[in-house]
Chains A and B, each alone.
Chain A
Amino acid sequence: MEIELRHIHKTFGPVHANNDITLNVPSGIIQGLLGENGAGKSTLMKILSGYFHPDSGEIRINGSPIVMHSPADALRFGIGMLHQDPMDFPPMRVLDNFMVGYPQGLHPPRKEARAALKKISDQFGFSLDPDAYVDTLTIGERQQLEIARLLWLGAQVLIFDEPTTGISAQQKDSLFAALRRLAKEGKTVIFVTHKLEEVEILCDRVAVLRAGKLVGTATPPYDLDGLVRMMFGKAVSKGKRTPIEFGKPVLQLKNLAVEDSRLRIEGVNLEVREGEVIGLAGMEGSGQRQLLRAAAGLVRPVEGEIWVDGHNLTGKTYHDFLRRGVAYVPASRLEEGLVPTLSLMEHVILANEQRGLVIDRQAALEDTRKRIQTFNIRGRPLLPVESLSGGNQQRALLALLRPGLRLLLMEHPTRGLDIESAIWVWSTLKQRCREERTAIFFMSSDLEEILHYSDRILVFFSGQVSEPIPAESATTEQLGQLIGGRGFKTGKEASS
């Protein structure tokens, strides 16, 4: 089945997620879709699979335009999507999951379904036990189940959104074999990824998205540097940096390993010195957040040690870190950073040192007014924080940080801010580095921000961590390749 996307537009508020995208995908090939975070890949695929409705533009199948209102609609047209996180029902059995979405009948045909599941499994070399519970399956097996289900429901076009996140190398090989087989049988396969290597070994052609636009296409043999330039754009300015003399080490990570259900990061050795800014680059979900959280005591490392100012804080709680002058600023402001329904003033009271038992509201009000002025927050002291705009919530979070911090750990310090606000935020952060000797350890999906404000950069790829790269000598191509998983030499390998 041939798919044509014509002049697709989609906006979310001020964000133009898909900007006039036109793309043809013939059947029988594996079409790659490459781009960094927020480039618009997932939006485009959700439009193609009926999740979103485009603001304008047209989707054609074999030349005739179609309109879809839901993913079920899309399946009727033969289009099925595998989401990044499997959308299945973990407490149910494999066979029940397989049959969910079967279009008709009060009495589902269990027997036929079982036979069909077995047939498809044999065909593709999947090993699925129909009676196992889904929550006992690995992510890879859950993908296999989803592929089988979509095929059974008649999907001719299969969309895979970053399917190799969190699966083993072996499962990846069998997934790729299945994809090749699907293409050979004449199905249309669209493969969304940010990993250059996967494009190289799997895709028959690739389209690159950046900032909502289709910026180019390529066929093998691929020019990787060219792809990186397309993904990240060319001009990433590094800005002037005023050299700061770094002091003694504040944070020391010694052979640290952190683990969660998807990733394991290991062998991280790093010293962050007073006044230094370290940026963590990489696609979202490559392990930056885990490391950042571990450095704050929010996640317990499985191996290694964390030292702050010469004190071993391994295994201590975040509150112990807090007492040593470490602060953590999360990206999700209203979920983790602020307390909805409480006012800005109440946040200031909570952030300040407690004096006595009874709150001095007058003093708190004055303090809050002062901070509103200093941090240029548009809002009033007694209004609930959720009434602030996103940018002002970010300013509020910064306004709550105590003076004289030793180490500041930040997730996406300027996400959702306009350029002026972002520059202002960084000027206050850099001031802390200069005047209070605070060290900053931050993650961002904005490569420009990382290059511009960091002194050294760590690049993450699927749980691998690069050696610290001095920002001054780093190039976009070098970082882009690393983010895409090329040319990795981890700190651990380098030292051994």
Chain B
Amino acid sequence: MNERNANLLFATIAILVALVFTSFVLVLAGASPVAAYWYILKGSLGSWTKVADVLVAWVPLLLVTTGLLITFAAGLWNIGIEGQIVLGGIFTTWVLRLLQHSAMAPGLILFLAIAAGALGGALWAVLAGVLKVYGGVNEIFGGLGLDFVAVALTLWLIFGPWKRPGIGSMSGTEPFPESLWLPTLGHTRLSLWALLLGIVSIALVYFLLSGTYFGLKLKAVGKNPRAAYLLGIPATRYLMSAFLLSGLFAGLAGAVQVTAVYHRLIPAISSGYGWLGLMVSMLINFQPAWAAPVTLFFAILNIGSIQLPIVLQLDSSLSGVLQGALVLSFLLMAGVRQKWVARLRAEEGEA
């Protein structure tokens, strides 16, 4: 069996394991697995509106995953990604609030707001980077801390300085005028601009990581910082750049959430896409080529399971069960595959 076939086989087994596990959970919950999977498909791809909804969820997830691919290439666990999305949302909202009553063209205001979102995410990520590089705080701990600070900051803004006239509420800040919404396609919620942004981003990062000196050096620093140093690569600069770029894409995701989806700042502006992006990154073993299809699949699961509570009285968190099971079974199969390869090599060595 050659390596390619083996990879395919292990991937298939992983998917089967995840499906069996999820089916088991469904049976426990007293539902028919077949019906559940059918409704997920119908609920995500059953009509053009639903396909559009899938793409609406796809864009931020794709942007976040794009950013994470950069930090993972540098060997960093950017757990602060959630906070970086949130800061993107906050900075975008901030600029929109500042400029919404100005005489500036709405297009220009939107552009500035989205750029500000990218900047906000990048700043929050660089903060995690500074904590790591100069403060000796592991980026996982620093990032987690900054996530909580970011959420607290959102709540404070929504219930404090940016509260709706009268009283602040969990439904978020006052919605922006329709002129400051990213234009959407027909009657759907899908913005072609956002879609374009997502696709261009992943294409750019794919090229950045596979075809440029920057990407190669980033990988060298990530895989072996000591050897990279002996090869003359300034590790600190590359680590900081990785944080900055990763945060930039996360910030863009936050900006898209504000300008194209919610049209205001809400407490859960990140929608958990940061965590989901981490899961996807692990699932695809950090390979950029797989980011687009797998994030699309995850978006399908998310949108498709929305109607499960209505039709099958199941909780919509089923998509999370399936996604988690997929990631775990893929990681498990990667481990099994490694042992299998090691045994194969050992046998070859003896022969």
Which residues of A pack against B, CB within 8 Å? Answer: 318-319, 322, 328, 330, 335-342, 346-347, 349-351, 354, 356-359, 361, 400
The residue from A319, A337, A349, A400 contacting B216, defined by CB atoms under 8 A apart = A349
Q: B230–A357 contact, CB under 8 A?
A: no
Enumerate the 4 nearest inter-chain pairs by beta-carbon distance, A residue then B residue, closest first.
A339-B224, A339-B220, A336-B226, A339-B223
Closest chain A residue to B349 by CB distance? A13
Q: B224–A338 contact, CB under 8 A?
A: yes
CB-CB contacts below 8 Å: B225-253 with A? 226-234
Q: B227–A357 contact, CB under 8 A?
A: no
The residue from A336, A354, A356 contacting B230, defined by CB atoms under 8 A apart = A336
13 A-B contacts (beta carbon < 8 Å):
A319-B232, A336-B227, A338-B227, A339-B219, A339-B220, A339-B224, A340-B224, A342-B220, A342-B223, A346-B216, A350-B231, A356-B213, A358-B213
Q: In whole angstroms, how far apart are the Cα atoms of A358 and B216 in the complex?
A: 10
Give chain B's interface residue range (CB within 8 Å of chain A): 10 to 19
Q: In whole angstroms, how far apart are the Cα atoms of A176 and B211 in the complex?
A: 62
Q: Is B217 an interface residue (CB 8 A)?
A: yes
Q: Is B212 an interface residue (CB 8 A)?
A: yes
Q: In whole angstroms, how far apart are the Cα atoms of A346 and B231 in the complex?
A: 12
Q: A342–B213 contact, CB under 8 A?
A: no
The residue from A341, A351, A354 contacting B213, defined by CB atoms under 8 A apart = A354
Q: B212–A359 contact, CB under 8 A?
A: yes
Q: A358–B230 contact, CB under 8 A?
A: no
Q: In whole angstroms, how far apart are the Cα atoms of A346 and B212 in the complex?
A: 11
Closest chain B residue to A13 by CB distance? B349
Q: Is B148 an interface residue (CB 8 A)?
A: no
Q: Knowing A340-B224, A342-B219, A342-B220 touch, does A318 contact B213 (C-beta < 8 A)? A: no
Besides the known contacts A339-B220, A339-B228, A351-B231, 8 further A-B residue pairs in the complex with CB atoms under 8 A apart:
A318-B230, A335-B226, A341-B219, A346-B220, A350-B233, A358-B212, A358-B213, A359-B213
Q: Is B214 an interface residue (CB 8 A)?
A: yes
Residues of A within 8 A of B223 (CB): 339-342
Residues of B within 8 A of A328 (CB): 230
Q: In whole angstroms, how far apart are the Cα atoms of A446 and B200 in the complex?
A: 57
Q: In whole angstroms, how far apart are the Cα atoms of A351 and B233 in the complex?
A: 10
The residue from A319, A335, A340, A349 contacting B234, defined by CB atoms under 8 A apart = A319
Residues of B within 8 A of A347 (CB): 231
Q: B216–A350 contact, CB under 8 A?
A: yes
Q: B229–A318 contact, CB under 8 A?
A: yes
Q: In whole angstroms, how far apart are the Cα atoms of A452 and B144 in the complex?
A: 57
Q: In whole angstroms, how far apart are the Cα atoms of A325 and B228 in the complex?
A: 17
Closest chain A residue to B219 by CB distance? A342
Q: In whole angstroms, how far apart are the Cα atoms of A350 and B229 in the complex?
A: 11
Closest Cβ of chain B to A184, distance in Å, is 48
Q: In whole angstroms, how far apart are the Cα atoms of A328 and B219 in the complex?
A: 21
Q: Knowing A318-B230, A330-B230, A337-B230 touch, does A359 contact B216 (C-beta < 8 A)? A: yes
Q: B213–A349 contact, CB under 8 A?
A: yes
